[in-house]
Amino acid sequence: MPSILIVDDEPNIRRMVGALLGAEGYEVRDASDAAAGLARAVEYEPDLVLLDLMMPGPTDGLELLEQLRGRFPDLPVVMMSGRAGLADAVKATRLGAVNFLEKPLTPEGVLLALASALELRQARRERSALRADLGLAGELVGDSPAMRSVREMIARVAPTDARVLIGGESGTGKELVASAIHAQSPRKDKPFVRVNCAAIPRDLVESEMFGHERGAFTGATDRRIGRFELAHTGTLLLDEVGELSAEAQAKLLRAIEAREIERVGGGKPIKVDVRILAASNRDLAREVREGRFREDLFFRINVIPMVIPPLRERPGDIAALVSHFAALHRRRSGQAAPQWTQAGVDAFSRYRWPGNVRELANIVERLSILFAGQPIGATEVASVIPAGEQTSARPSALPDGERLDIALADALDEYEGLLITRALSAAEGVVAEAARRLQTDRPNLYRRMKRLGLATPGEGAP
C-alpha cells in the first residue's frame, strides 16, 4: 500500500488521521514540525505528504512545500489548515500543492483527496516508465532537415497555449513530440497526462475522460477522477483521437469549448484548465470529408497542425538512432555492447521501416541481445529484418536495368524522375505533399517536373 507522511504540529490530528489511514491499509508516518517532516521525507520517500499550512518554528508549511517540491518534483502534497484564507490556498496551489483541505477534517474529504493525489502520482510514474521503456526520456534524436523542422515548430508552439494536432504514421514518435511541447511550455512543472482513445471501451469513454461518482453505474464502487481533472493546470494528450465514436467526439467537443467537465453521475460542472494536444495516425481531414470525424471538433483541435515524417524519409537519422537505442539497451540490461560496423548501419538504410522509429528500436534491441559483444554487419542485420522488405538505397535498377554506359546527366535525370514519380504516387498526386516528402518546396518541384517532362496533376503529359 502507498505510504503517507503526515506533518502537523497538533498531536490529535496526527493520531486521528493516522488511525483513519492505517485502517484503510496505508503505511503512515508523521512529524510534528517542518524540519522533522523534511528529514522523514528524505529518509522514507513517501508516496504522498499531508501537510499543515501553519506550524510553529522558523519554517512553515508553505516553505516546507517549496522544499519538498524542489527535492521530489513528482511527490504530491495535500495542504490542510483551519485558519487559511483564499490567498494562502492560491499560493499553495502555485507552489505545487495538488489539493487544499480545510479543518476540521472529515474522513470522506481526506480519503477522497488522497485517492485523487495518489492517482495523479501513479499517472506520472506510468508516464516516466513508458518514456524510459520507449527511449523517450531524452530529447528528439536526429539532425536531418525534417527533424530540424520539427524542433523549430516545437519551439514556436510550445510557449503558447494553442491546441496542436500531431499527425504521422504509427511509430514515428508523436507522443515524444507532445511531451517535448509540454516540457518547453509554461506548464512544464504541471501534469502531463496521456489518454489512448483507441484503448478505451466505447461504454467507458466518458468515465475515463471525465470521471464518475460512486454508484453512477454498475461496478462504480468508488469515485474516479477522470483524465481531464488529472491534467488540470497541465497538458492532456488525446492519443489516437480519430478512434473516438461520434458520441464521444460530441462530449469531448463540449468539454473543450466550455472548459468544464461533469463526472458521470454528478450534477456539478467542474472547471478545468487544460492544454489539449491531440495525435492521430489517420488523415483526420479525410475522415471529416467522409463523415467519420466531426468537422467542428477537427477545427477545435487543429489550431496548429504538425506532421511527423516517417523514418524512410529521414534515413540520415538512422545512424544516430541506432547509437541512441543501443546505448539505452546497454544501460537497462548491463549486457556487453555489440560492435556496430558501417556495413551493418548501412544495411538499415535499405529497409522501408513500416513500423518507423518504434520498429527500429525493437530491432536494435533484438540485435543487441543476440549479438552482445560481437560485430554486427549486414548479414546480422539481414537476419532480423523481414524478408522481402529491403530496398536499395541507390538507383541500381533504373528503368533500363543496370547500365554502365549511360551518361551521368541522363542517369541523374532518370533517377530524379523516378523519385518524383514515387513521391507523387505516395502523395496521391498532391504536389505540396510530394514536395514535403522530397524535402523541397512546391515551386522547385514544379520546375523540376517541367524540366523532366513529367505531367503535373490534372494535366496530360506534355
Amino acid at 221: T
pLDDT tens per residue, range 332-372:
888 888 899 999 888 888 888 888 998 999 999 999 999 98
With 80 as the cut, is the pLDDT of residue 81 above it? yes
What is the predicted pLDDT for the residue at 220?
Answer: 66
Residue 280: Cβ-neighbour burial (10 angstroms; 0-12, 13-18, 19+):
buried
Q: Are residues 329 and 278 in the same domain?
A: no
With 80 as the cut, is the pLDDT of residue 125 above it? no
What is the predicted pLDDT for the residue at 86?
Answer: 74
Is residue 375 in a domain?
yes
What is the predicted pLDDT for the residue at 137?
Answer: 47
Please identify, among 309, 336, 352, the residue that sits at the C-terminal boundary of a domain.
309
Reduce the DSSP state of residue 371 to 3 states and report it.
Answer: coil
**pLDDT-based confidence at residue 387 (cuts at 50, 70, 90):** low
Q: Cα(68)–Cα(393) distance, rounded to whole angstroms?
A: 54
Q: Could you tell me if 236 and 274 are in contact, meaning their C-beta atoms sit under 8 angstroms apart? A: yes
- Report the relative pairing of strands 224-225 and 211-212 from DSSP bridges: antiparallel
Q: Are residues 144 and 292 in the same domain?
A: yes
Is residue 392 in a domain?
no
Q: Are residues 25 and 79 in the same domain?
A: yes
Is residue 327 in a domain?
yes
Q: Are residues 234 and 272 in the same domain?
A: yes
Which of 86-100, 207-221, 297-311, 379-393 is predicted with the least confidence, judged by mean pLDDT?
379-393
From residue 117, alpha-carbon distances to 36, 68, 113, 246 in Å are 23, 15, 6, 32
What is the predicted pLDDT for the residue at 398?
Answer: 42
From the CB of residue 44, how many other CB atoms can be counted at a distance below 10 Å?
A: 12
Arithmetic mean of pLDDT, 171-187: 91
CATH number of 49's domain: 3.40.50.2300
With 80 as the cut, is the pLDDT of residue 413 above it? no
What is the predicted pLDDT for the residue at 392?
Answer: 42
Q: Are residues 17 and 158 in the same domain?
A: no
∠ Cα 35 38 42 (to 5°): 140
CATH number of 290's domain: 3.40.50.300
Which is nearest to 27 in space by CA: 51, 47, 52, 7? Answer: 47
Q: Are residues 32 and 106 in the same domain?
A: yes
Handedness of CA 266, 20, 1, 82 (dihedral sign): positive
With 60 as the cut, is the pLDDT of residue 400 above it? no
**pLDDT-based confidence at residue 402 (cuts at 50, 70, 90):** very low
What is the predicted pLDDT for the residue at 287?
Answer: 92
Is residue 240 in a domain?
yes
What is the predicted pLDDT for the residue at 128?
Answer: 60
What is the predicted pLDDT for the residue at 414?
Answer: 75
Is residue 218 in a domain?
yes
Contact residues for 254 (Cβ-Cβ < 8 A; gap 6+) = none
Q: Are residues 160 and 288 in the same domain?
A: yes
Which of 23-27, 137-141, 258-262 is predicted with the least confidence, judged by mean pLDDT?
137-141
% of the chain surpassing 90 pLDDT: 32
What is the predicted pLDDT for the residue at 426?
Answer: 72
Is residue 435 in a domain?
no
Q: Are residues 305 and 329 in the same domain?
A: no
Q: Cα(58)–Cα(320) distance, rounded to whole angstroms?
A: 52
Record the pTM. Answer: 0.58
pLDDT tens per residue, range 20-70:
999 998 999 999 999 999 999 988 889 899 999 888 878 888 899 988 887
What is the predicted pLDDT for the residue at 131?
Answer: 55
**pLDDT-based confidence at residue 256 (cuts at 50, 70, 90):** very high
CATH number of 372's domain: 1.10.8.60
Please identify, among 367, 382, 397, the residue that sits at the C-terminal boundary of a domain.
382
Q: Are residues 146 and 271 in the same domain?
A: yes
What is the predicted pLDDT for the residue at 410?
Answer: 67
Is residue 237 in a domain?
yes
With 50 as the cut, is the pLDDT of residue 383 above it? yes
Please identify, among 96, 120, 144, the residue that sits at the C-terminal boundary of a domain.
120
Q: Are residues 247 and 295 in the same domain?
A: yes
Q: Are residues 193 and 287 in the same domain?
A: yes
Arithmetic mean of pLDDT, 110-128: 80
Our count of domains for the chain comes to 3
Is residue 112 in a domain?
yes
Q: Are residues 80 and 212 in the same domain?
A: no
Q: Whole-number mean pLDDT of the chain?
A: 83
From residue 433, alpha-carbon distances to 47, 74, 159, 309, 436 in Å are 49, 42, 28, 11, 5
What is the predicted pLDDT for the residue at 396?
Answer: 39
Q: Domain range holding 210?
A: 134-309
What is the predicted pLDDT for the residue at 450?
Answer: 81
Among left, alpha and beta (phi > 0; psi -120 to 50; other), residue 401 is left
